[in-house]
A and B are shown apart, each in its own frame.
Chain A
Amino acid sequence: MLLDPNSPSQNIIAVHQLTKKFGDFTAVDAISFEVRRGEIFGFLGANGAGKTTALKMLTGLLKPTSGSANVTELDVVRYPDKVKQCIGYMSQKFSLYEDLTVRENIRLYGGIYGLSNARIKDKTAQMLAKLNLEDQANALVGGLPLGWRQKLAFTVALLHEPGVVFLDEPTSGVDPLTRRQFWDLIYEAAHQGVTLMVTTHYMDEAEYCDRVSIMVDGQIKVLDTPRNVKNQLQATSMDEAFRILARPQNTAS
């Protein structure tokens, strides 16, 4: 690309001094970072490190105590509705309805994001072809194997062509082969210019990201490419790098 990577329009997510306090407890402590368009950004951290809280603020589910966050060049606090229309979200729990069919799930999310009926029809056909799910279109989602369900959920999250998709531990509980296939879908979306922000517990998945950040106690301790993170911490793998950072240093537990 010829564009200057540091030009502001290239940063689809810009977070500045973002803070969230619950009473005396600071869950997210003045974090700042940028994510470029089309980037796969790994958002790592142990449970309770604050990544879910940060993600909730970026998706408009929580109001920040202070600081700012721009997503798709819009302030999430000031324009939550516009931001919501431009982002996709897949939670760690299954985000589709198991008692609806594949087709009905697509129709529901198409309707919620304001797609026209004709467009939903086109999109449904495209998605079914891409996932090889044509035969299962009228089957209840609950009856599909877990791997297919997760792939379907991801494709549905892309239905309204969002600029950014937030994936909160999308592959937890999925077998290694399906995880690999799932990451193929993520790469494909990134190639088409979608920005992906992924949280994960699998450190091998962290290696697939363009850049990763590791959160410890509400702060971002390191933010770089996986290779640089490893070099910086003199670790042989992301797993080791993560353990060096996340290891409790002063407290016993």
Chain B
Amino acid sequence: MNFRRLQSFFHKEFLHILRDRRTLLILFGMPLAQVLLFGFVLSNEIKDTNIAVLDQSKDVESIALTNKLASSGYFHVALTLQSADHLEPAFRSGKIKMAVVFPPQFGKQLTHEGSAALQIIGDASDPNTATTLIQYAQGIVFNYGRQRASSQASAGPTIAVQTRMQYNPEQKAVFTFVPGVITLILMLVSAMMTSITIAREKELGTMEVLLVSPLQPLEIILGKTSPYLLLSLLSTVVVIVLSMTIFGMPMRGSVLLLALECILYTFVALSLGIFISTRANDQMGAMFMSALGLLMPTMLLSGFIFPRESMPWALQVIGYAIPATWFNPIVKGVMIKGIGLEVLWPQTMVLLGMAMFFLVLSLRNFKDKLA
């Protein structure tokens, strides 16, 4: 290891990065766009969703319940339908996501028989949203029934259920997306950018010149990866600060622990990037391999967007091999729950193992495959 050689190499690497507008854009524009996008647009919060009401009863009870739904803040009664025939066209037009149907005699049945049925129809072309909407509506209907019952003297004992969403009482979607975005960005910058920049030297032929020079393979790897390690951590800081200031994401645990875990995860990503670059012959190859092999699984299988619990068994198993699957709970745990290594040590150990495994693998491959 020779400091002077390394220093010259770092200098060159920073010049490459600073002169390439696309690299800078990916390093800093991408994280910014992703946080804002996921924070504002991709939220799965329910707010003022358009619904239709088909009230065939039009009595005190049905009107009171409709008002309850409308005043909850979750729903907005956009359409008042006159006939069941209008339901289908309303859903088709996309104006509504849910419909509530009161049968004739709804109020009468409720008062005289003590029970009545109503129908809630959800637009299941988007099943996740439909399920959530129906759950919210059911909750409101259930509450209404209970209040009504308890206001009458004849009511028997009732159980009051009080729910609380621990750690994220407002159920902000950003809380799940920010950790996901961090895993994605670190993977993108560290693995993809490193593999591309090494593949570029191979493609251009400069790698041969470097390998013939007194630079050691380890020095080349260090020189190529350290700038990206630094920059990816910098863009992580940008993401975290943004999420805290704009979206009110908490930082309940140790910042130091989070920083160390980020560095550990970055090491895994970097060694994956080096490994890919030893396999790919050009920049395009490196890009496809890291996009398909790393970014897609990180996004789809790690539990970032889709919950792992609802995945088929085989996909869950594949998910275990993805570093983000282990890193995601760490970020969530530290930032939102405020827990430390006493809980997160298994995930940390897995990441440590992955880092060692891929680092050894890529170092062994590096010299043989690059020449």
Q: Do the two chains belong together in a single complex?
A: yes
CB distance from A198 to the nearest CB of B (A): 15
Partner pick for A91 among B9, B205, B215, CB 8 A cutoff: B205
* Residues of B with C-beta under 8 A to A32: none
* Residues of A with C-beta under 8 A to B15: 99-100, 104
Q: Are B212 and A62 in contact (CB under 8 A)?
A: no
Residue of A nearest to B9 (CB): A112
Please name 19 pairs of A and B residues whose Cβ atoms are closer than 8 Å in the assembled complex, sorted by A: A56-B371, A61-B208, A89-B208, A89-B209, A91-B209, A93-B205, A95-B206, A100-B15, A104-B12, A108-B8, A108-B11, A111-B5, A111-B7, A111-B9, A112-B5, A112-B9, A112-B210, A113-B214, A114-B214
Query: Would you call A85 an interface residue if the criterion is a C-beta within 8 Å of the partner chain's C-beta atoms?
Result: yes
- Contacts A61-B371, A111-B7, A112-B8 given; does A97 touch B206 at CB 8 Å: yes
Residue of B nearest to A59 (CB): B212
The docked-state distance in angstroms from the alpha carbon of A243 to that of B40 is 70
The docked-state distance in angstroms from the alpha carbon of A95 to that of B301 is 41
Query: Would you call B159 an interface residue if the criterion is a C-beta within 8 Å of the partner chain's C-beta atoms?
Result: no
Interface residues of A (CB under 8 A from B): 56, 59-62, 81, 84-85, 87, 89-100, 104, 107-114, 166
CB distance from A105 to the nearest CB of B (A): 9
User: Interface 1/0s, chain B 187-225, versus A by CB < 8 A?
Assistant: 000000000000000001110111111111000000000
B 1-18 contacts with A by CB, 8 A:
2, 4-5, 7-9, 11-12, 15-16
Counting from the closest, the 7 A-B pairs by CB-CB distance are A111-B8, A93-B205, A89-B212, A61-B371, A95-B209, A91-B205, A59-B212
Q: A100-B15, A108-B8 are in contact. List 12 more A-B contacts (CB 8 A).
A: A87-B212, A89-B208, A93-B204, A94-B206, A100-B16, A108-B9, A110-B8, A111-B5, A111-B7, A112-B214, A114-B5, A166-B212
The docked-state distance in angstroms from the alpha carbon of A85 to that of B4 is 14
* Residues of A with C-beta under 8 A to B214: 81, 84-85, 112-114
Query: Would you call B164 an interface residue if the criterion is a C-beta within 8 Å of the partner chain's C-beta atoms?
Result: no
* Residues of B with C-beta under 8 A to A98: 204
* Residues of B with C-beta under 8 A to A104: 12, 15
Residue of B nearest to A105 (CB): B12
The docked-state distance in angstroms from the alpha carbon of A220 to that of B260 is 57
Q: Are B205 and A112 in contact (CB under 8 A)?
A: no
Q: Are A97 and B212 in contact (CB under 8 A)?
A: no
* Residues of A with C-beta under 8 A to B7: 111
Q: Are A112 and B212 in contact (CB under 8 A)?
A: no
Residue of B nearest to A140 (CB): B19
Query: Would you call B170 an interface residue if the criterion is a C-beta within 8 Å of the partner chain's C-beta atoms?
Result: no
The docked-state distance in angstroms from the alpha carbon of A28 to that of B15 is 40
- Contacts A84-B213, A84-B214, A92-B205 given; does A100 touch B12 at CB 8 Å: yes
Query: Would you call B126 an interface residue if the criterion is a C-beta within 8 Å of the partner chain's C-beta atoms?
Result: no
CB distance from A233 to the nearest CB of B (A): 33
Q: Are B213 and A112 in contact (CB under 8 A)?
A: yes
CB distance from B196 to the nearest CB of A (A): 14
